[in-house]
A and B are shown apart, each in its own frame.
Chain A
């Protein structure tokens, strides 16, 4: 039976069909749905981990203990997990281990466009690149087989258009989920220098054997057609090539580290003109050119953003690609904080106080945009807290003018060590944890601070206040962000205090709670058209004919606009007391 699955659903199905027994991940677009779908298979022990490094290490432990395992993350998550990955390449596996990296060409929802294929070469581990959902599923099985046969973790590299496109997939029954027995072997699993040096030699032997695999695996194949034009390609780019160049001969690479040198040389010698077509970096091209092959690649095809069939056609036709020409001068529609979002109140207050804000990664990063304009920096997960300390170390007077802002899930991910650094190194920074009881931006996943697991089962909840106190922060406060005056006074006081403090602004995400609060309306007799309410940047409020209006279909009655209005023009059916 064929069904339409996203690449992520297909990878989850592959984990089920090919005997994965343990799976772990941290959410991150476009990888999140892999574990959400694996969670449907109760035969697999699956979990959200606090961050990608931990997820990877759980997978490493399960693999060495004997289970087939899968770890999944977005491209930048692999940076976090790189430490265990590089040394696992030395020790190898027991049960097969596949690491899924979902890259984001075009940066639809990411802070950079890194091409994680280089990780395979760098860590000396084999890599598969699927070009549709069927291959995404099949390659999970191949990855596990290669992992066990060559004693090595395997990288399965997806991209947004693989992970989030639906294509037809043939479903099969699950094979038996056998967990191998564990045998202690310190030469293999204790990577002290004496053991690692032996393994280092083994890595090069393994590379030669994997090269042989690459030359013979059916996922590296030639599709012969007209030999005037040949194309070497992989991943989603293969689909664009098939569409743009139906007459070309194609060397389609599904296994892209190590590369099949003999196959490449043979193919190149049989075609008149050779193109290397790949999204983002010239990963294949550099290798192919180093073999002495003459080919055309990034000199005509773009290195940035996503490819498409049209971009390929135009590049070959000699046109430079111009990014999407709009038919009209149409205003942009960037994502915004939702109506009733608890973050809005915090950023409004931070703007009023004219503070510098070292920010972090989540929905609250949207606080950087107009009209809230309340974020100075966003670099990576967890950076907000140590960066606030860095601001203070560079300019001591900035300590009283800077706050770090981080979400609950991001704080657990990699904010805690930064907070310890502030305490340890005599910092005085103020840290705001925006605790909305979920991992919101990636679509509402549970995390250790929500008290629920991936499967929504109850579990021990991290006590944020106690955690902050335990690392040595004496000034820890919890506040409702909708109590804006209280929040403002608290922040003013704490930035002025010469010791570290943590303010937990606690209020669940507006999309996960049913609100009992009344909807708000604007009394047009009281409204003087000052547009003060427009400054909170709520999509439910609009302004025309010198009066503001609230869209009842969008408003959830959070009351932030009512607190900002100086003319008592915004009212609800019952008094606006913060909901606890």
Chain B
């Protein structure tokens, strides 16, 4: 099989690390070679964070190149715009309809770009916008945004739903399992 590339982008503290753990687990369960690379040195400090997951017959580089991502999952709108040029032609992007102002906007040095979704749609043919914060709130915790978004990603990927649920069971602590299974369902059924 051709190597499949997934890029997760967001803001430090949004839970991209758990999401990438689940994603890596589900990829490994398919019997693929998997590589995953994360930059998380200052992830709790509200900076821009990126996780790259690659799976295929044999994967060498852990890095996804510009124009090579099959899927992008953006936990925040501006981050979607920052990384949309990584999407390959015909690739799909799942974007959380949430705005988190970076400090450069808070201080007034820059303006948060208007009409982010329109700009994304100009650049990608398949944009799935999802209010993950609201869906997470409905299942009981705004911290479950990450797994809601994985549910939405699952709609765009050729992996069985049961595999995803199993990956969540293997990754998430028992205490939070029910919440996260519901969060996945919320994102999966939209």
Q: Does A562 contact B (CB under 8 A)?
A: no
Give chain B residues whose Cβ lies under 8 Å from the Cβ of A534: 106-108
Whether the Cβ atoms of B85 and A331 lie closer than 8 Å is no
Q: In whole Å, how far is A96's beta carbon from the nearest beta carbon of chain B?
A: 29
CB <8 Å contact, B82 and A330: yes
Is B79 a contact partner of A333 (Cβ separation < 8 A)?
Answer: yes
A322 CB → nearest B CB, Å: 11
Q: Does A511 contact B (CB under 8 A)?
A: yes
B119 pairs with A328, CB closer than 8 A: yes
Give complex CA distance A242, B109 in Å: 43
Least CB separation from A441: chain B residue: B42
In Å, the complex CA distance between A310 and B102 comes to 30
User: Which of chain B's residues have a CB closer than 8 A to the CB of A168?
Assistant: 28, 33-34
Contact B106 A539 (CB under 8 A): yes
The listed residue (B33, B103, B112) touching A369 by CB distance below 8 A is B103
Number of interface residues of B (CB under 8 A): 50
- The reply to whether A327 and B84 contact each other, CB–CB distance below 8 Å, is yes
Q: In the complex, which range does the number of interface residues on chain A fall in?
A: 35 or more
Interface string of B73-84 (1 = CB under 8 A from A): 000001101101
Contact B63 A308 (CB under 8 A): yes
B126 adjacent to chain A (CB < 8 Å): no
Taking CB atoms, residues of chain A closer than 8 Å to B108 are 534
Report whether B48 and A333 are in contact in the complex, using a CB–CB cutoff of 8 Å.
yes
Task: For A370, list chain B residues within 8 Å (CB).
Answer: 103-104, 107, 109
Contact mask B90-106 → A, CB, 8 Å, 1/0?
A: 00000000001111111
Of the candidates B11, B46, B107, B123, the one whose C-beta lies within 8 Å of that of A327 is B123
A 329-352 to B, binary, CB cutoff 8 A, 1 in contact else 0: 111111111100000000000000
B62 touches which one: A239, A328, A338, A537 (CB < 8 A)?
A: A239
Assess whether B131 is interfacial by the CB under 8 Å rule. no
Q: Which of chain B's residues has its CB closest to A337's CB? A: B45
Q: Is B37 an interface residue (CB 8 A)?
A: yes
A368 to B6, CA, bound (A): 35
What residues of chain A lie closer than 8 Å to B106, measured between beta carbons?
534, 537, 539, 541-543
Contact (Cβ within 8 A) A324 B44: no
Closest to B28 in A: A4
In chain B, positions 18-44 with a C-beta closer than 8 Å to chain A are 24-25, 28, 33-42, 44
| Per-position 1/0 for A540-568, Cβ under 8 A of B | 01110000000001000000000000000
Contact partners of B33 in chain A: CB under 8 A: 168
- Tell me the bound Cα distance from A440 to B82 in angstroms: 28
Which residue of A308, A328, A333, A363 has the most chain B CB atoms within 10 A of its CB atom?
A333
Please name all residues of chain A whose beta carbon is closer than 8 Å to the beta carbon of B100 when the two chains form the complex: 539
Instruction: Name the one of A4, A161, A164 contacting B24, with C-beta atoms under 8 angstroms.
Output: A4
Complex contacts, B189 vs chain A, CB 8 Å: none
Contact B37–A336 (Cβ < 8 Å): no
Quick check: B47 and A335 within 8 Å, CB to CB?
Answer: yes
Binary flags per residue of B42-67, CB closer than 8 Å to A gives 1, else 0: 10111110000000000011110110
B60–A336 touching, CB < 8 Å: no
Known contacts A165-B36, A242-B60, A331-B111; decide if A308 and B44 are in contact (CB<8 Å): no
Given the interface contacts A326-B85, A539-B106, does A240 sit within 8 Å of B60 by beta carbon?
yes
Q: Is A417's beta carbon under 8 Å from chain B? A: no
CA distance A4 to B66 in the complex (A): 25
Interface residue? A309 (CB, 8 A): yes
Q: How far is the CA of A329 from the CA of B110 in the complex (A)?
A: 10
**Chain A residue at smallest Cβ distance from B38:** A164
Minimal Cβ-Cβ distance residue in A for B112: A331
CA distance A444 to B147 in the complex (A): 25
Q: Are B104 and A333 in contact (CB-based, < 8 A)?
A: yes
Q: Give chain A residues whose Cβ lies under 8 Å from the Cβ of B101.
A: 539, 542
Q: Are A539 and B60 in contact (CB under 8 A)?
A: no
A sample of 25 inter-chain contacts (CB < 8 A) reads A109-B41, A164-B40, A165-B35, A166-B34, A167-B62, A239-B61, A240-B63, A325-B85, A330-B78, A331-B78, A335-B46, A335-B47, A336-B45, A337-B45, A338-B46, A363-B45, A370-B103, A370-B107, A441-B42, A537-B103, A539-B46, A539-B100, A539-B101, A542-B101, A542-B106
A interface residues, Cβ below 8 angstroms from B: 4, 29-30, 108-109, 132, 160-161, 164-168, 236, 239-240, 242-243, 308-310, 324-338, 363, 366, 369-371, 441-443, 511, 534, 537, 539, 541-543, 553
Given contacts A327-B81, A332-B104, A333-B82, 16 further A-B pairs with CB under 8 A are A160-B39, A161-B62, A164-B38, A165-B35, A239-B61, A308-B63, A326-B85, A328-B113, A331-B78, A336-B45, A336-B103, A441-B42, A441-B45, A511-B44, A539-B101, A541-B106
